[in-house]
């Protein structure tokens, strides 16, 4: 007899199962992350009934929910974004955190079940985002808050008023004198109320007070009336009559010009950036200086508190402490700074961005404003432009290097390293020589981590002295610590391999040992890229693809993701070089697109050259669908003549794949005026080819009017053949064959077969008999291999019977109908 479990045991089992099922059924969140021109967008699709809340705390974005959820950390970390990174879950799955730029504008909205979070750049001081007259309103509020309203006559323009009221005007601006009105039209005790001014009735009513006392009876107005001059009315009438008599005596009166609509006021230009006292900001004693600044922040109030926070930000900038500086910037922005203080904070924020090698420096004030001869402006302008636009950055390099001599040691070392790395990447040996000389002069003791020897080795490589470069690299690598010592070791291995002093297997062993000697260092990306390139050159393409995927997975979504993608770009170039040398028909190009397509997109250059090479390899190996997807994405993002060229490449791939209708649509959407004659002719030939393949023979022949060359002649002959003009097609194919014989080009199998068919259908049996063994050899192995046997007349004894011929014709007709139906559905 079986024992039944007790009630307590049953209840406990039920509770455990319920808890387990609740844990297993935790809902999943879907995420999308992408970068736009001025902002980055994160979209989270949450389950029904969940209300997420997005809060920015310092430089961290936190999204909180009430119940635990499964967050897509893998996809978020694999996605590359300039403004959102380092995604981490906390509170047992109840929150998701991400790092955002300090001072960035963050906006969130919940649209049905989608939480949309937009992260933009820092706000522009004194200008409201999205409002054209924001500067006028801010200026008006600042003046009213001070207790004065300037008296402005109607003849003064709005732009002049804005310049007069600008609280952050230029340092050299001349004072603006405005003529005062004769007398205020307001009663005593009243003044003009500016929109947005605080008052006892500002939130209750918004009526406009009349400019003169209200004549209504009953004493409704409490203010006393204005004093009335007895002869005022008569004087006014006499003045009007006198003016009218003068106008009547004038012989010619020119018509008044038509009144023009007032132009909207332009926002004032930002004032120039003043000189920086970075040595004074840093101070001599770090601990004492920081303690003094912290005490000043704690004791100050109001505007003085913001000034004390700005002083702390300047101190952190002079000490090159970027992480603490961004946090201090965020704190200063939360203290409601005045417009001039916001402008100072923006300047400091742009300096920290330049120190951190920002990718998009166009909205940086040091780049937007002209530098002139301002030394500090030239320093930060060169630092901001160096990583991406070295040609513009080197314009102020002599002034910047001279000013850097007076900078604090830590900050000078960081900026010199940024400039040296940019000059090295651009291959500018003259500029790198100047930077290295300054490193030797002022920072040789502070660069004991191998940095100086590394850049001296790079300079020796640019000057084509490899032995001197190896000597410097070995000296840096002997330190065995720091990123530049490791980077010098990687460069020494690559240089020895290039000089033939180390074979490929030896380079792979050295790089593998270097890779596994440490983990997590930012130089590991260089070692991985070099190792993957060695794998690709030695034919180990699978291992090279694995290294490329490892670069994207480990470093693609971190703070050093940009360097990892740069290293991945060099590795991807080596892989594509290897695949282009391999015979067609392999699977490696397809594996690269299928496994690492998103990483290829991230690592590609702005012009999409690597993806175009991958698309060409896919087309060569017969993977047209994947190739057309890549070309579609490149075409949609391109503009101008490049868009037309990519559209032509995509149309060729679609025509070869039997998708002529899509090719016509692509050619229509990517065209434009002002194209080069060669590209315009190529697009016209593609359009004719697509029309011919789509069955529109008449329009195809019209599109070929005025076009010359062998390709146009071939398409014209094929069009005549498709239209049933056998004699004209036979003549066109004969002319095409003669033209190709004159140029020495070999005719294609299709052209030979269609020439013979057109001659046969035109009744020219002699032309069909003229096919020689050479033509038979050219048709061998193609779909036209048995065509010449079909042209041969039947033997005299008549092996053919009417029944067999009718049966073969019926089967051919059925197959033709099947083929046409297949083409219409596919």
3-state class (DSSP) for residue 68: coil
* 143-149 long-range contacts, CB within 8 A, separation 24+: 143/194, 144/194, 144/196, 144/197, 149/191, 149/192, 149/194
Count Cα neighbours of 712 within 13 Å in the Cβ-side half-sphere. Answer: 14
Identity of the highest mean pLDDT range in 83-87, 143-147, 407-411, 560-564: 407-411
Higher-confidence residue of 123 and 407: namely: 407
CB of 666 within 8 A of CB of 635? yes
Using N-to-C axis directions, what is the helix angle for 524-537 and 541-555, rounded to 10°? 160
Pair of tokens at residue 522: 């930012």
Q: How would residue 317 be classed by pLDDT, with cut points 50, 70 and 90? A: very high
Residues near 501 by beta carbon (within 8 Å), at least 6 away in sequence: none
The pLDDT value recorded for residue 771 is 67
Over residues 742-753, the mean pLDDT reads 76
* Per-residue pLDDT tens over the stretch 663-674: 999 999 998 777
Query: pTM of the entire structure?
Result: 0.52
CA distance 639 to 646: 10
CA distance 597 to 612: 13
Q: How many CB atoms lie within 10 A of CB 701?
A: 19
Return the minimum-mean-pLDDT range out of 30-39, 60-69, 343-352, 628-637: 30-39
The pLDDT value recorded for residue 188 is 40
Residue-by-residue DSSP string for 742-796: HHTPPPPHHHHHHHHHHHHHTT-HHHHHT--HHHHHHHTTSTTTTHHHHHSPPPT
CA distance 59 to 128: 22
The pLDDT value recorded for residue 200 is 39
Residues near 425 by beta carbon (within 8 Å), at least 6 away in sequence: 390
Question: Tokens 């844990």 map to which residue?
Answer: 23
Higher-confidence residue of 390 and 753: namely: 390
User: Which residues make beta-bridge pairs with 54?
Assistant: 63
Environment class of 30 (CB within 10 Å of its CB; exposed 0-12, middle 13-18, buried 19+) = middle
Over residues 621-644, the mean pLDDT reads 91
Q: How many CB atoms lie within 10 A of CB 787?
A: 21
Give percent above pLDDT 70 in the chain: 73
The pLDDT value recorded for residue 131 is 44
3-state class (DSSP) for residue 363: helix
CA distance 645 to 654: 14
Return the minimum-mean-pLDDT range out of 38-47, 48-57, 142-151, 809-818: 142-151
Residues near 31 by beta carbon (within 8 Å), at least 6 away in sequence: 42, 43, 44, 45, 71, 72, 75, 76
CA distance 193 to 1: 96
Over residues 283-311, the mean pLDDT reads 91
Over residues 328-338, the mean pLDDT reads 90
The pLDDT value recorded for residue 323 is 87
3-state class (DSSP) for residue 443: coil
Q: How many CB atoms lie within 10 A of CB 15?
A: 10
Q: How would residue 418 be classed by pLDDT, with cut points 50, 70 and 90? A: very high
3-state class (DSSP) for residue 628: helix
* Per-residue pLDDT tens over the stretch 509-526: 888 877 776 655 555 677
Nearest 5°: the CA angle 825, 782, 658 is 25
The pLDDT value recorded for residue 445 is 61
The pLDDT value recorded for residue 123 is 62
CA distance 757 to 720: 12
CA distance 329 to 123: 13
CA distance 53 to 41: 16
Residue 85's nearest CA partner among 60, 105, 103 is: 60
3-state class (DSSP) for residue 667: helix
The pLDDT value recorded for residue 66 is 85
CA distance 383 to 420: 10
Average pLDDT, the chain: 76
Q: How many residues does the chain have?
A: 826
Give percent above pLDDT 90 in the chain: 22
The pLDDT value recorded for residue 618 is 93
Q: How would residue 650 be classed by pLDDT, with cut points 50, 70 and 90? A: very high
Residue 695's nearest CA partner among 737, 658, 642 is: 658
Q: How far is residue 590 CA from its own chain's centroid?
A: 26
Q: How many CB atoms lie within 10 A of CB 700?
A: 23
Run of H or E residues at 340? helix 339-355
Max CA separation in the chain (angstroms): 139
CA distance 381 to 517: 38
Residue 246 clears pLDDT 80, i.e. is over it: no
Return the minimum-mean-pLDDT range out of 277-281, 630-634, 788-792: 788-792
Residue 778 clears pLDDT 50, i.e. is over it: yes
Return the minimum-mean-pLDDT range out of 86-100, 116-130, 773-787: 116-130
- C-alpha distances (whole Å) from 646 to each of 582, 607, 635, 656 are 25, 11, 6, 16
Over residues 467-482, the mean pLDDT reads 86
3-state class (DSSP) for residue 716: helix
User: Which residues make beta-bridge pairs with 41?
Assistant: 34, 118
Q: How many CB atoms lie within 10 A of CB 336?
A: 11
Residue 366 clears pLDDT 50, i.e. is over it: yes
Pair of tokens at residue 573: 């170039």
Handedness of CA 489, 495, 501, 505 (dihedral sign): positive
Question: Tokens 């006559």 map to which residue?
Answer: 153
Q: How many CB atoms lie within 10 A of CB 740?
A: 17
Environment class of 625 (CB within 10 Å of its CB; exposed 0-12, middle 13-18, buried 19+) = exposed
Environment class of 178 (CB within 10 Å of its CB; exposed 0-12, middle 13-18, buried 19+) = middle
Residue 425's nearest CA partner among 393, 382, 454, 388 is: 388
3-state class (DSSP) for residue 614: helix
The pLDDT value recorded for residue 26 is 63
Residue 713 clears pLDDT 80, i.e. is over it: yes
CB of 119 within 8 A of CB of 101? yes
CA distance 192 to 189: 11
CB of 411 within 8 A of CB of 403? no
Phi first, then psi: give them for residue 202, nearest 5 degrees.
Answer: -70, -25
* Per-residue pLDDT tens over the stretch 555-596: 554 445 566 667 778 888 888 988 898 888 888 899 888 888
The pLDDT value recorded for residue 749 is 80
Q: How many CB atoms lie within 10 A of CB 417?
A: 18
Run of H or E residues at 108? strand 106-111
Over residues 365-388, the mean pLDDT reads 90
Environment class of 265 (CB within 10 Å of its CB; exposed 0-12, middle 13-18, buried 19+) = middle
Q: How would residue 451 be classed by pLDDT, with cut points 50, 70 and 90? A: confident
CB of 281 within 8 A of CB of 318? yes
Environment class of 776 (CB within 10 Å of its CB; exposed 0-12, middle 13-18, buried 19+) = middle
Residues near 154 by beta carbon (within 8 Å), at least 6 away in sequence: none
CA distance 386 to 364: 13
CA distance 549 to 764: 63
Run of H or E residues at 278? helix 278-282
């Amino acid at each position: 007899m079986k024992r039944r479990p007790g009630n307590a045991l049953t209840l406990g089992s039920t509770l455990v199962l319920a808890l387990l099922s609740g844990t297993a059924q935790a809902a999943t969140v879907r995420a999308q992350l992408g970068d736009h021109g001025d902002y980055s967008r994160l979209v989270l699709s949450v389950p029904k009934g969940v209300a997420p809340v997005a809060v920015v705390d310092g430089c961290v974005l936190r999204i909180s929910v009430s119940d635990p959820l499964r967050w897509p950390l893998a996809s978020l970390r694999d996605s590359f974004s300039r403004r959102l990174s380092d995604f981490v879950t906390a509170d047992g799955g109840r929150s998701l955190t991400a790092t955002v730029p300090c001072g960035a504008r963050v906006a969130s909205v919940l649209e049905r079940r989608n939480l949309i979070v937009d992260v933009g750049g820092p706000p522009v001081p004194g200008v409201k985002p999205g409002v054209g007259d924001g500067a006028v309103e801010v200026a008006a509020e600042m003046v009213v808050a001070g207790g004065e309203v300037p008296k402005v006559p109607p003849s003064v323009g709005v732009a002049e008023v804005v310049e007069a009221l600008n609280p952050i005007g230029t340092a050299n601006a001349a004072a603006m004198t405005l003529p005062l009105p004769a007398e205020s039209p307001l009663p005593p005790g009243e003044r003009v109320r500016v929109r947005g001014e605080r008052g006892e009735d500002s939130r209750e009513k918004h009526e406009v007070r009349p400019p003169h006392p209200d004549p209504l009876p009953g004493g409704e107005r409490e203010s006393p009336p204005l004093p009335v001059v007895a002869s005022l009315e008569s004087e006014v009438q006499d003045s009007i009559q006198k003016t009218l008599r003068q106008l009547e005596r004038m012989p010619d009166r020119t018509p008044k010009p038509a009144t023009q609509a007032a132009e909207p006021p332009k926002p004032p230009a930002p004032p120039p950036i003043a000189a920086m006292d970075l040595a004074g900001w840093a101070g001599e004693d770090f601990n004492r200086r920081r303690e003094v600044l912290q005490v000043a922040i704690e004791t100050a109030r109001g505007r003085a508190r913001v000034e004390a926070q700005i002083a702390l930000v300047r101190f952190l900038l002079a000490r090159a402490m970027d992480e603490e500086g961004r946090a201090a910037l965020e704190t200063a922005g939360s203290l409601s700074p005045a417009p001039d203080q916001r402008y100072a904070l923006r300047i400091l924020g742009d300096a920290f961005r330049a120190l951190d090698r920002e990718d998009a420096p166009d909205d940086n004030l040091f780049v937007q404003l002209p530098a002139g001869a301002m030394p500090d402006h030239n320093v930060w302008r060169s630092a901001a432009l160096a990583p991406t636009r070295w040609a513009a950055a080197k314009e102020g390099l002599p002034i910047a290097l001279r000013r850097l001599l007076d900078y604090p040691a830590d900050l000078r070392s960081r900026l010199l390293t940024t400039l040296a790395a940019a000059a090295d990447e651009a291959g500018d040996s003259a500029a790198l020589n100047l930077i290295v000389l300054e490193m030797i002069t002022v920072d040789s003791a502070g660069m004991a981590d191998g940095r100086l020897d590394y850049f001296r080795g790079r300079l020796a490589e640019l000057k084509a002295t490899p032995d001197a470069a190896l000597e410097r690299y070995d000296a840096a690598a002997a330190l065995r610590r720091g990123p530049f010592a490791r980077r010098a070791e990687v460069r020494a291995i690559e240089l020895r391999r290039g000089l033939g002093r180390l074979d490929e297997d030896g380079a792979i062993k050295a790089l593998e040992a270097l890779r596994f000697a440490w983990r997590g260092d930012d130089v590991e990306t260089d070692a991985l890229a070099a190792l993957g390139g060695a794998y690709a050159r030695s034919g180990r393409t699978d291992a090279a693809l694995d290294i490329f995927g490892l670069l994207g997975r480990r470093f693609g979504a971190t703070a050093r993701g940009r360097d990892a993608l740069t290293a991945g770009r060099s590795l991807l170039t080596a892989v594509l070089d290897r695949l282009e040398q391999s015979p067609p028909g392999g699977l490696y190009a397809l594996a690269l697109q299928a496994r690492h397509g998103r990483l290829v997109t991230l690592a590609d250059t702005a012009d999409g050259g690597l993806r175009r090479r991958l698309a060409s390899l896919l087309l060569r190996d017969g993977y047209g669908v994947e190739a057309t997807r890549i070309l579609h994405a490149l075409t949609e993002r391109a503009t101008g003549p490049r868009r037309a060229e990519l559209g032509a490449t995509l149309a060729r791939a679609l025509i070869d794949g039997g998708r002529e209708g899509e090719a016509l649509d692509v050619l229509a959407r990517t065209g434009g005026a002002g194209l080069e004659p060669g590209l315009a002719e190529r697009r016209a030939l593609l359009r004719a080819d697509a029309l011919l393949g789509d069955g529109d023979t008449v329009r195809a022949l019209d599109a070929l009017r005025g076009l010359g060359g062998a390709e146009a002649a071939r398409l014209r002959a094929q069009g005549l053949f498709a239209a049933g003009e056998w004699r004209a097609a036979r003549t066109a194919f004969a002319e095409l064959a003669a033209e190709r014989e004159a140029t020495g080009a070999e005719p294609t199998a299709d052209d030979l077969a269609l020439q013979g068919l057109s001659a046969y259908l035109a009744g020219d049996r002699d032309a069909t008999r003229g096919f020689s063994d050479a033509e038979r050899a050219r048709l061998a192995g193609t779909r036209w291999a048995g065509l010449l046997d079909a042209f041969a007349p039947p033997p005299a004894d008549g092996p053919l019977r009417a029944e067999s011929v009718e049966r073969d014709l019926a089967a051919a007709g059925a197959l033709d109908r099947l083929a046409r139906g297949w083409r219409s559905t596919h």
